[in-house]
């Protein structure tokens, strides 16, 4: 089993729609969870982090965490063309921050 698994992409959504990204992780010791966005040819940038069960909202982004199910998700509401990128899920354990392979999102105008 991979340490971090993300729903396979690419994910294509129309402008204004909701993009839903999912991630499961294997390390039960993971304490905090990050979503990074990586534009093509650029380095990853942090967009959300969450460490408590439940939902966390930041603008058009909502992260949802369920530690019992080892599941974290990211919703992008009112998707914009500028949201087109690869989104990386990254649970943090004691000794490292592992990244999923990423889900590439394309927002169609």
Partner 1 sequence: EAGVTQSPTHLIKTRGQQATLRCSPISGHTSVYWYQQALGLGLQFLLWYDEGEERNRGNFPPRFSGRQFPNYSSELNVNALELEDSALYLCASSRPLTLTGELFFGEGSRLTVL
User: Which residues make up the interface to partner 1 (CB under 8 A)?
Assistant: 32, 34, 42-46, 49, 51, 88, 90, 92, 95-102
Q: Name the DSSP class of 97.
A: B
Q: How far is the CB of 98 from partner 1 (least distance, A)?
A: 6
Residue 44 CB, shortest distance to partner 1, in Å, is: 5
* DSSP codes, 16-59: TS-EEEEEEES-TT--EEEEEEE-TTS--EEEEEE-SSEEEEET
Which residue lies nearer to partner 1 by CB, 16 or 59?
Answer: 59
Instruction: Provide φ and ψ at 83, rounded to 5°.
Output: -85, -5
Our CB check for partner 1 shows the closer of 13 and 97 to be: 97
- Give least dist CB 105 to partner 1, A: 15
């Amino acid at each position: 089993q991979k340490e971090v698994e993300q729903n396979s992409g690419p994910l294509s959504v129309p402008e204004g729609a909701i993009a839903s990204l999912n991630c499961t992780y294997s390390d039960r010791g993971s304490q905090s969870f990050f979503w990074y966005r990586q534009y093509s040819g650029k380095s990853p940038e942090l967009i959300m982090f969450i460490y408590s069960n439940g939902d966390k909202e930041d603008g058009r982004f909502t992260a949802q965490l369920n530690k019992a199910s080892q599941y974290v998700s990211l919703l992008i509401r009112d998707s914009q063309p500028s949201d087109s990128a690869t989104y990386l899920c990254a649970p943090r354990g004691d000794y490292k921050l592992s990244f999923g392979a990423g889900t590439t999102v394309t927002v169609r105008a």
